[in-house]
Structure 1
Amino acid sequence: MSQPPPDRRLHGDVRQPRADMPVAQPGSWRRLTRLDLLRPDGPAGDLVVRGRARDSTTGSDGRSGRCSDAELEATVDYHDGRRLLRLATSPALPELVDLVGSSAIAGFRGRAGLDAVAGFSAPLAALLDDVPVGVLISGHAVSAARGPDSENVTVSSGYIPIADQCAGYAADGALMTSIAERGRSPVADGPAAPTLRGAPDWMSEPLAVHGMRRIRRIDRRITDGSVRIDAMFRDTYRRVDGAETVVHEYELTVVADATTGVVDRAVATPRVLPWSDCPGAVASAGRLAGTTLDRIDEQVRRDFRGVGTCTHLNDLLRSITP
């Protein structure tokens, strides 16, 4: 299926996904996660969420060390309140059954008790933390299933963009202007997703049509008196023609004092962004300077709002909190 070239005024020029995963450095800790957002019954059906995460270490000799794994599978009634219909995890945590029947977005993290889950299984807590934003971004697959004209809309994501909630949705920006002109939101069609050379096979298994995937990598090591963190995330979508495309991709580098944990610098590098105004959020990462690593989650939740930020970049910043 041929695709028209992207409208640069609307989608911008940040379209250079990375094609490799760096080798884990000696003396480092690494977290990898994959969250698949699947629609086996088509875009109008329930959302199936499948996740896998692994924490591992690399010794000073460069050899792989201990690993800790987790898996998650859930079903969400996406078109009726985003309610969680089913949840199973490995390792199993019986109290998580209380989440069933409630929203998979609003208040989900609080109800999941992520701090307690992290004490039991940090990789499982990371997967649960990604569920709300995963359900949110999965609406892209629903919107992408629409026809090219508003008269041909067969399904709806149910998501209404709110002006000024982030850089991409700036009230006077290209996206919100386009919505006002067309009467509906356009659909971002990103560049082809390259295979991440060096990534484990389970992170690059084939993705089903109408499916989306969020992958994360966080590397942390201490060297020369500093904590150095290198992180990234990528969201992809598989179109009906079989092409897997990148919707979002960011990299993040953070350096902090190894004794105090105070962040010296934080730099976000966008690889793929869907809208031309999205780069307005990039500089927000620098606001972490002066914060301690253990307070990043708190600061981002409290202070990172509006057109100078990005929901997805914020989640990347939050993900590096130890």
Structure 2
Amino acid sequence: MTNDTLTGPAAPDGPATATPPRRPGLVRRTTTHDSLRLSGLRGPVTLDARGRDLRVEPDGSTSILAAQRVMVEVTFPERAIARIDTDPGEPRLGALLGARAASGFRQKVIEALPGEGESRSVRFQLLDDLPTALLISGYALQKQVAPAPFDRERKAAGLTLQYPDLCAGWITGGTIVRGLEETGQVPRPVGPAVGPIAGTDPDGWHEVGPLPAHGMRRRRRLDVWWEPGEPDARVECFFRDSHMDAGGVETALHEYTVHATVDPRSGTFTSCTADFGALPWQECPVALASAGRLVGRRPDGLRRHVRDTFTGISTCTHLNDTLRSLEDVGALIDKLPAHHAG
């Protein structure tokens, strides 16, 4: 094996090309995290995070329930918060200045904004997703910068540092680990090209700016709605990490869609499945079955539950983050129009 770029698996139909229409009675949360390297690949990362909750009324009209933007400048390679601005403003977030956007950051958010997590707000989702969005933004460097020459000491240290069997993609004997064993480098994946996702409904997502070269974009869409004649609430959660190359071609690195139903009486998931549009490693789709573990659980507490129990080679760190975001489903269901089962 070499560490040249590898083409990752894509679903038979490829990545998503459109967004489902906004049906009457729908509540939709959309978020994006754009990781931008405005001062060059080795400079600080500017992270532009935006989100919106939108409800479609039974008559088809729409109302914006919440809208947030968080702008963060992060030093490289320290990953320290050098600047943080929000719209609407929140002066308490000044407590995050100097903090590393890495392990422990989410706890610092909870300490800076007591009660924010329990609110299930758009802002909390933006802040909760910030460290992983920043981590995956390192793909821009991996994609553009030539790998270092083979180093036997790096090879020997690689497996110790990279935690084999962390998830399905890091399974012992899999593509990543074999690449480390043979070359001392993580192989460089490349995903399929993707185009605009809004389709025929440009207002189906909140407004975002154009993604410049070497930018990374993390998209999330969480839809909840009542299906006529069905007692349970429907849930669909879409997730994609994408990269814009120097030639203006956007490619998908990770793409998952989770489909679920929630019993409004017990507040528990009655079904939960996942499918994918694009993934970086051939071993990754094994993790899809882990979504079924949410059946019988309530959305409340999912962020901690998934973090603590969804570990090992039957899971995927990026799918786990998607499942964690379902903690907000209950709050969005509460914003739906009254339910009349048929």
Instruction: Answer whether TM exceeds 0.5 for this pair.
Output: yes
Once the two structures are TM-superposed, the CA of residue 67 in structure 1 deviates from its matched residue by 2.9
- CA deviation map 1:61-115 (0-9, x unaligned): 22212431100100111312x1111101111111110111011111111111166
Query: Which of residues 89, 94, 102 is equivalent to 1:92?
Result: 89
Structure 1, unmatched stretches of 5+, are: 153-158
Query: Which residue of 2 is the match for residue 209 of structure 1?
Result: 213
Query: Which residue of 2 is the match for residue 43 of structure 1?
Result: 41
The separation in 2 between residues aligned to 1:252 and 1:121, in whole angstroms, is 19
Structure 2, unmatched stretches of 5+, are: 151-157, 329-342
1:34 aligns with 2:32: yes
Go from structure 1 to structure 2 and tell me whether the alpha carbon gap of 1:129 and 1:44 turns closer, same or farther (over 3 Å shift).
Answer: same
1:296 aligns with 2:302: yes
Could you tell me whether the CA contact under 8 Å between 1:118 and 1:124 is conserved in 2? Answer: no
Go from structure 1 to structure 2 and tell me whether the alpha carbon gap of 1:205 and 1:193 turns closer, same or farther (over 3 Å shift).
Answer: farther
Aligned to 2:95, the other structure's residue is in SS state: helix
Aligned to 2:115, the other structure's residue is in SS state: helix
Query: Which residue of 2 is the match for residue 116 of structure 1?
Result: 115
Once the two structures are TM-superposed, the CA of residue 240 in structure 1 deviates from its matched residue by 1.5
The separation in 1 between residues aligned to 2:289 and 2:266, in whole angstroms, is 24
Could you tell me whether the CA contact under 8 Å between 1:21 and 1:199 is conserved in 2? Answer: no
1:1-322 superposed matches below 5 A:
7=6, 11-14=8-11, 16-80=14-78, 82-113=79-110, 116-117=115-116, 122-147=121-146, 149-151=147-149, 161-196=162-197, 197=199, 198-200=201-203, 203=207, 205-223=209-227, 224-322=230-328
Once the two structures are TM-superposed, the CA of residue 14 in structure 1 deviates from its matched residue by 4.0
Give, as a single letter, the amino acid of the residue that structure 1 aligns with 2:51.
Answer: A
The separation in 2 between residues aligned to 1:243 and 1:309, in whole angstroms, is 30
Once the two structures are TM-superposed, the CA of residue 202 in structure 1 deviates from its matched residue by 5.1
TM-score normalised by L of structure 2: 0.85
The separation in 1 between residues aligned to 2:181 and 2:316, in whole angstroms, is 21
Could you tell me whether the CA contact under 8 Å between 1:52 and 1:72 is conserved in 2? Answer: yes
Aligned to 1:151, the other structure's residue is in SS state: coil
The separation in 2 between residues aligned to 1:115 and 1:248, in whole angstroms, is 32
Aligned to 2:70, the other structure's residue is in SS state: strand
Could you tell me whether the CA contact under 8 Å between 1:203 and 1:215 is conserved in 2? Answer: no
TM-score normalised by L of structure 1: 0.90
Could you tell me whether the CA contact under 8 Å between 2:11 and 2:276 is conserved in 1? Answer: yes
Aligned to 2:142, the other structure's residue is in SS state: helix
The alignment yields a C-alpha RMSD, in angstroms, of: 2.2
The separation in 1 between residues aligned to 2:270 and 2:45, in whole angstroms, is 41
Give, as a single letter, the amino acid of the residue that structure 1 aligns with 2:108.
Answer: R
Could you tell me whether the CA contact under 8 Å between 1:236 and 1:248 is conserved in 2? Answer: yes
The separation in 1 between residues aligned to 2:176 and 2:248, in whole angstroms, is 27
Could you tell me whether the CA contact under 8 Å between 2:5 and 2:187 is conserved in 1? Answer: no
Give, as a single letter, the amino acid of the residue that structure 1 aligns with 2:49.
Answer: G
The count of residues paired between Structure 1 and Structure 2 equals: 309
Go from structure 1 to structure 2 and tell me whether the alpha carbon gap of 1:203 and 1:165 turns closer, same or farther (over 3 Å shift).
Answer: farther
